[in-house]
Each structure stands twice: as C-alpha cells, then as structure tokens.
C-alpha cells in the first residue's frame, strides 16, 4: 500500500488505453447502487426472471454425472461440442443453416464476440459504421483497437439505407455493427426487406457485418424475423447471440456464427483472452436448450416483461411532456425517448433525476459524435410496476418543470 508522501509510479499506459474512459453505463451503475433508487438505467433481466431453481437442478445433475470432472477441466477454445450442436439448431430459428461446427464458436457473452471481431479485423484508423444511436459499449471496445467510428442515420424503422450506402462510399469502412432486433438503445426492429438490402449492400462493397442479436427471443408481439446472416451469400456476416438476457448474464455464455475462416481467427483471439468459455455453463445451457427449458422460462418471463413494457408506455403517456416522442418496441428491454433538440437531459436534468432517486441513461453515450443529449434510454425490465408508475411520474414532473416554456 502507498502512504501519503510516497512517490507513486507515473504509469506509462499504452497509447490504446491512455485516453480510454469507462463505459458510460458501467459508470452509472456505481451511481445507482443505492438501494432506494428507481433505476431505468441498466439492461438487466428482472431478478424474478432468473431461473435459479432450474439452474440448481441442472448443475446438480451435471455435477453428479460421469462427465462432472471433464466439465471442471480445461476445455477446447472452440466450445463444448454438445453445446455447439444445440447452438447450431438454436440459430435455425433465425434462418441460419450451419453446415459444419467449424462455423460456430462458444463465446463468453455477446460482448466478447464484439471484442473478438474487432480484434480480428480492426487495424489502427480503420473505420467502423454503427447505427446512430448504437450500443454504448461498442465505441468503448472500438477505441481499444483505435478504430474510427462513424454513425449512420437511423429512422423509425432502423438504419437508413441511403445513408448506409453513402457512408460506405465516403468512408470505405471495414465493418458495420448493427443490432437489427429490439435494438439497444432504441428497441427498434428492422424489417425483413431491409435486412435483405443490408446483406446486399454490404456484400457489394465488401463490408463485414457484425449482427448482434442478444434480445431476439424477448418478443412480446409480432413474428420472429430471419437474421441478416440468413441472407449472407458471401460470408461477410458474423452473427452473435447470447443467453445473458434469456437465461442468465452471470453465466457468460453466447455464440458466434460465421464462415469457417472467420471463426478460426476469432478462436485464435479467444485463446489469448480467456482460453475458453466456462464449460460447466456451456453444458448447463445445452440442457436448457435440449430439455426445452429455455422455451419454458421464456413462456413464463415474456408475459412478465410485456406487462412492464405496457405499464411504462402507459406511464409515459400519462406523465411525460407532450413534446416527447418514444418508441413502441415489440420486444427487448428498452424504450427510447426523444425530446426537441433544445432540451438537454444529459446534464442538470440527469443530476436532478438522481437526486430525486430515479435513474436513466442519457442518449449522448450512444452517439459517436456526442449528439443525443435530447434523448434518453429507459429500461423497463427491472423495476416493479408500482415503481415504473412512480419513477416515470417523478421524471415527467421534473422534465415538465425544467422544460416549462420550452415544450
């Protein structure tokens, strides 16, 4: 331990890390850890949605079985084969046909899939296109690989195709990162025709697509849609999914699907990062899939989340200023609220909301150009219905107070 007066080393951090700031939402978590705060800030499943009883039975049975010690031993970086086989069947639901297990990799959550993809493809100064707004962790990960991020305009129906092609021609990007289903942060979903066009446009210009789908199973209305990957004829789409939002984020299990060559590079990157995803939880996830338990817990949790979403939509209509507009998602965990450009919800209003014990994520952390201070992201999965009504009223009253004369 250092004592006052000790001369502490002036750390010579790498150029990559020197100017890195923490992911904005991780920082907010510190602020909102007080127990009496109503948080619409995180992106966590509800505590009562986490399948602790099912997990206990599965883990007990795995650890009592004759494969127990192999599950506690080092495993292959590629993944636990029964998990990869179940995973290959699982992604058929979004139209992905895997010919060989060399096209699929077990990853330690979707976040690792983003990191490994950037590690495999990005040189210093390479450009990455992202939706504006995008998932807040992506700028953070991209900075560690010294990429330049460029936002592509997003409309009510997701990424704007004209702007996508324009940005590709102008910036010659290596990669497009996109969350086409129940996007974080907007909750928006891109329709099938647009998915086909995204596959076409990016294939034409040799742009890699990183399609991130952690929320697709949390659908409260409408039909399941085919992935962009299902329209990939050129091998330029990498598909990520995760069991964090459906089973448990704490177990850190997800899947990446791509051409064999890409999976090989991601695997080599993963060897250096964490050797392999925890085999015990890959095996547990295999059982959730094989025994139909994932479907069972979704059948239980989806109505629970739908009630929370409907409650928040109702509360917004009752309490938010008339100048606000918000998305009406068919699934996922977020609602995105937009105010007129003159309104800043990232500064004083945010601090005052925390003082009044309500938290949200201000929109600017999701835009690569620092815009979006007039937007906010609300998570509806974690608070009780009573707290949703109460918290949205507190926020609505605060916004109306501050915006008087503006809205």
Ligand X SMILES: Cc1ncc(COP(=O)(O)O)c(C=O)c1O
- Which spans of this chain sit near ligand X (rule: CB under 6 A)? 43, 109-111, 135, 179, 184, 212, 214, 242, 244, 249, 254
**Least spacing, CB of residue 91 vs ligand X, in Å:** 15
Q: Which helix (H) or strand (E) holds 337?
A: strand 334-338
Residues written for the chain: 407
Of the pair 110, 321, the CB lying nearest ligand X is at: 110
**Shortest gap between Cβ of 7 and ligand X (angstroms)?**
40
Contact 212, 240 (CB under 8 A): yes
Closest contact distance (angstroms) between CB of 14 and ligand X is: 24
CB of 189 to ligand X, least distance (A): 13
CB of 9 to ligand X, least distance (A): 33
Q: How far is CA 196 from the centre of its chain?
A: 22
Contacts of 257 by beta carbon, 8 Å cutoff, 6+ apart = 91, 96, 98, 103, 104, 105, 229, 238, 239, 240, 263
Closer residue to ligand X, CB minimum distance, 111 or 227 = 111
Closest CA to 107 of 81, 145, 78: 78
Quote the CA–CA distance of 349 and 402 in Å, as a whole number. 8
Q: What are the structure tokens assigned to 138, written together?
A: 């992506």
Considering the complex, state which of residue 78 and residue 212 has its C-beta at the smaller distance from ligand X: 212
Residue 154 in tokens: 């997003």
Q: Which is nearer to ligand X, 244 or 267 (CB)?
A: 244
Smallest gap from residue 281 Cβ to ligand X (A): 12
> What are the distances in angstroms from CA 350 to CA 35, 41, 239, 345?
18, 11, 35, 6
Q: How far apart are CA 165 and CA 132, in angstroms?
A: 15
Q: Which is nearer to ligand X, 22 or 347 (CB)?
A: 22
Q: How far is the CB of 184 from ligand X (least distance, A)?
A: 4
Instruction: Identify which of 202, 192, 188, 275 has the alpha carbon closest to the alpha carbon of residue 227.
Output: 192
CB-neighbour burial class of residue 64 (10 A; exposed 0-12, middle 13-18, buried 19+): exposed
* Closer to ligand X by Cβ: residue 249 or 321: 249
Please identify which residue in the block is written with the tokens 């990446």: 256
Of the pair 289, 324, the CB lying nearest ligand X is at 289
- Residue 173 or 216: which CB sits closer to ligand X? 216
Helix, coil or strand: residue 224: coil
Q: Is 366 left (phi over 0), alpha (psi -120 to 50) or beta?
A: alpha
- Residue 79 or 321 having the CB closest to ligand X: 79
Task: Region of 44 please: left (phi>0), alpha (psi -120 to 50) or beta.
Answer: beta
Q: In the structure encoding, which two tokens stand for residue 331, read together? A: 């699934």
Q: How far is the CB of 252 from ligand X (least distance, A)?
A: 7
Question: Closest approach of Cβ 403 to ligand X, in Å?
Answer: 29
User: Which residues are CB-contacts of 186 (< 8 A; sequence separation ≥ 6)?
Assistant: 133, 154, 327, 329, 334, 336, 377
In angstroms, give the least distance from the CB of 42 to ligand X: 8
Is residue 359 within 8 Å of residue 379, measured between CB atoms? no
Which residue's Cβ has the minimum distance to ligand X? 109
Residue with Cβ nearer ligand X (250 or 347)? 250
């Amino acid at each position: 331990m250092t004592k006052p007066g000790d001369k502490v080393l002036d750390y010579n951090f790498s150029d990559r890390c020197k100017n890195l700031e923490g992911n904005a939402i991780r920082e907010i978590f510190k602020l909102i850890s007080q127990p009496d705060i109503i948080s619409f800030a995180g992106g966590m499943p509800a505590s009562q949605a986490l399948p602790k009883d099912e997990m206990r039975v599965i883990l007990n049975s795995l650890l009592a079985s004759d494969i127990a010690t192999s599950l506690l031993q080092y495993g292959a970086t590629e993944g636990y084969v029964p998990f990869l086989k179940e995973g290959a069947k699982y992604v058929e639901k979004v139209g992905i046909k895997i010919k060989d297990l060399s096209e699929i990799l077990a990853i330690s959550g979707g976040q690792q899939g983003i990191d490994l993809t950037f590690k495999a493809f990005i040189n210093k100064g390479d450009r990455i296109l992202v939706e504006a707004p995008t998932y807040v962790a992506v700028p953070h990960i991209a900075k560690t690989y010294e990429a330049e991020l460029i936002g592509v305009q997003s409309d009510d129906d997701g990424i704007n195709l004209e702007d996508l092609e324009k940005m590709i021609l102008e910036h010659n990007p290596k990669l497009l990162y996109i969350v086409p289903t129940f996007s974080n942060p907007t909750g928006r979903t891109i329709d099938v025709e647009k998915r086909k066009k995204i596959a076409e446009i990016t294939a034409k210009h040799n742009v890699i697509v990183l399609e991130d789908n952690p929320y697709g199973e949390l659908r409260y209305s409408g039909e399941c849609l085919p992935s962009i990957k299902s329209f990939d004829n050129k091998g330029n789409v990498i598909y990520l999914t995760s069991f964090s939002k459906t089973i448990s984020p704490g177990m850190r299990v997800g899947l990446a699907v791509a051409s064999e060559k890409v999976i090989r590079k991601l695997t080599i990157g993963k060897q250096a990062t964490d050797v392999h995803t925890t085999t015990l939880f890959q095996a547990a996830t295999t059982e959730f899939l094989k025994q139909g338990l994932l479907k069972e817990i979704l059948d239980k949790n989806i109505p629970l989340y739908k009630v929370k979403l409907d409650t928040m939509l109702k509360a917004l209509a009752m309490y938010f200023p008339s100048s606000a507009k918000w998305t009406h998602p068919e699934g996922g965990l977020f609602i995105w609220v937009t105010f007129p450009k003159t309104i800043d919800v990232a500064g004083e209003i945010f601090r005052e909301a925390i003082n009044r014990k309500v938290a949200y994520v201000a929109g600017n952390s999701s835009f690569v150009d620092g815009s979006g201070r007039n937007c906010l992201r609300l998570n509806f999965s974690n608070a009780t219905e009573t707290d949703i009504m109460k918290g949205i009223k507190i926020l609505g009253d605060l916004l109306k107070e501050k915006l008087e004369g503006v809205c």
